[in-house]
C-alpha cells in the first residue's frame, strides 16, 4: 500500500469515528445517563488515537536529533 493511500485510509477512518461519535452524542442529548456513558465509550478510541499519533510524531522528531 502506498503511503498516500494509507494516510487517506487512516484519515477516513478517524473522521468516521468522529462523525459516529458526534451523531450518537447528539441523539442522546436528552438522556443524562445515556449521553454520559456513550460519550466515554465513543470518545475513548479517539483519545487513544490522538495519544498514539502524538507519540509517533515525538519519536519521528527525536529520532533525527
pLDDT in tens, 29-60: 777 787 778 777 777 888 888 999 999 888 88
Q: Is the pTM of this model over 0.85?
A: no
* CA–CA distance, 40 with 28 (Å, rounded to integer): 13
Q: Where does the chain have alpha helices with state H?
A: 3-27, 32-63
Number of structural domains in the chain? 1
| Whole-number pLDDT of residue 11 | 92
**Which range marks the domain in which residue 36 is found?**
3-63
Report CA-CA distances (Å) from 60 to 8, 10, 33, 44: 20, 18, 41, 24
C-alpha cell at 16: 468516521
Amino acid at each position: 500500500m502506498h503511503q498516500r493511500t494509507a494516510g487517506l485510509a487512516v484519515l477516513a477512518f478517524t473522521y468516521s469515528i468522529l462523525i459516529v461519535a458526534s451523531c450518537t452524542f447528539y441523539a442522546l442529548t436528552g438522556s443524562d445517563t445515556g449521553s454520559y456513558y456513550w460519550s466515554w465509550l465513543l470518545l475513548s478510541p479517539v483519545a487513544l488515537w490522538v495519544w498514539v499519533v502524538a507519540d509517533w510524531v515525538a519519536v519521528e522528531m527525536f529520532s533525527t536529533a
